Amino acid sequence: MKVSGVDLGAIAEEFGTPTYIIDFKRVRKNYMRLDKALNCPHVIAYAYKANYEPQLVRMLALMGSGATVPSAYGVMLAMWAGVPPEKVVLVGPSPSRQDLEEAVMYKALISVESESEVEALGRIGKARVMIRVNTGVGAGAHPSLITGGQKTKFGLPPSRALSLARFLGSTMEVEGFHTHIGSQILSAEPFKKAVELLTKLARDLGKVNVIDMGGGLGIPYLNEKKFPLEEYSQVVCRASENIGALLVIESGRYIVGDAGYLLTRVNYVKEVGKEKWLLIDAGMNDFLRPALYNAKHRITVDKEKPKEKYLVAGPICESADLFGEYDLPKLGEGDLVVIRDVGAYGFSMASRYNLRPLPAVVAVDNGKYNLLRERENFGRAIFG
Ligand code: LLP
C-alpha cells in the first residue's frame, strides 16, 4: 500500500512495527479545505491534543494555524512552533498553576471554566480570558466524547458565565465566550444551537472580540457521510459576523484524523471453535480508541480475496484489547496490517502499558519519508 507515493511495506521493513505514519500532504489539504470554507475573519487554533508531533504543529503554524493547548507544555510547544501568542488558546477544566503561569506569561488566551479558577488566575496576573459556557448542547459519537449538557465538568451554565464575564471586566481582559460541545460530530445542527446561545450571551454582555466554537468536526471512519463543512461554516460565520467577533475554531480530528496510519504485523493466527483470532503486534497501549470508545477503524491489507472473518486483537493482557471483527483476506504470520484514520488521538493517547515502548512515528510527504520519533528502547521506556 502506498501513501503519498511512499510504500508502507518499506517503512515497516526499515523501522519495524508498530509504527505510526503521518501523511503531511493530507494534513495540509485538510487544513486548507477548512480554512477556505470559513468565509469570515477566523483563526483555526488546531487542537494539539489530537496529535502533537512537533514537526506537524510547526508545519501547521507556517500555514497560519493557531493552537489550542491543554497544558503549559502545550503553550511551550506552540511557542517553539512559531505560533503567534495571540493565536494560542489554553483550554482545560482544571489547569495547574504552571499551566496558567505559562499562558499568562506568553499572553495566550485562557478559557476559564469556574469562579475558583478565576481566583487562582487573579493571583498570577492580568490575563486575556474567555469564559467557557456549557450551552446545554452536547454531541459526539460516544457518551465519553460529549462535553456539553447535563452532568459534565466542563464550562459554566450561561447565566453564571455572563455574571462572571461582567464581574471580570474590570480586572481581566475579557475577550468573549467559548464552548466545545463534544467530538466526532457529523451534523451542523448542534453547532447551530450552541453558537446561537453564545451570540446571545455576547449581545447581553455588550461587545465581545472573540467567539470560540471549540472543535468537534467529525470524519467518516467507516461508511458515515462527510462532515457538512459548508453548512457548518455558514452557520458559525454568520453568527460571529453578526456580532462583529473573530471566530475561533479548535479543530483537531478534522485536520489530522485521516492522515494517520498504524502499521502493524500479524504475530499469530489462532483458531478456537468458530472464531479466528488475528493477533497483531499493536495493542490498546499503542491505539486506545477501540478499547475506550468501541471505535471501529478501517483495516487495509495487501492481499487478494477470498475473505474470512477475523477477530483482530492485540498483545495486551486485557480482553478490551480488541480492534473488532473484520472480513479480511487470509492472513498469516508476519503479514502487514494497516489500521486507518489514526492521525487524531492515536499516538497522542498511546501508553507504555504492559511494559511496551511507545511506537515509532514516520512522516510521509510527496514521495519522501522521514523518521519523526524513534521507537523507544528499554532504557527510555522502562527507566525513563
Ligand atoms: N477543543 C477542546 C476544548 C477539546 O477538549 C477538544 C477535544 C478539541 C478542541 C478538539 O476536538 P476535535 O476537533 O478533535 O474533535 N480522544 C477522543 C477525542 C477526545 C476529544 C477531547 N477534546 C477520541 O479519540 O475520539
What is the pTM assigned to this prediction? 0.97
* 50 CB near ligand 1 (under 6 Å): yes
60 burial via Cβ count (<10 Å: 0-12, 13-18, 19+): buried
376 C-beta neighbours (distance < 10 Å), count:
15
pLDDT tens for each residue of 77-107: 999 999 999 999 999 999 999 999 999 999 9
Pocket test for ligand 1, best of 113, 183, 297 (most atoms within 8 A of CB): 183
* 289 CB near ligand 1 (under 6 Å): yes
* 199 CB near ligand 1 (under 6 Å): no
Pocket test for ligand 1, best of 217, 250, 289 (most atoms within 8 A of CB): 250
- Ligand 1 centroid distance, CA of 313 (Å): 25
- Active-site residues, by number, are 317
pLDDT tens for each residue of 148-202: 999 899 999 999 999 999 999 889 999 999 999 999 999 999 999 999 999 999 9
- Ligand 1 centroid distance, CA of 28 (Å): 19
Question: The C-alpha cell of 102 is what?
Answer: 505559562
Residue 180: left (phi > 0), alpha (psi -120 to 50), or beta?
A: beta
- Ligand 1 centroid distance, CA of 272 (Å): 38
Q: What is the CA radius of gyration of the chain?
A: 22
pLDDT tens for each residue of 269-280: 999 999 999 999
Q: How far is CA 201 from the centre of its chain?
A: 27
Q: Which residue ranges form the domains of the chain, and what is each CATH number?
A: 2-21+257-383 (2.40.37.10), 52-251 (3.20.20.10)
* 344 CB near ligand 1 (under 6 Å): yes
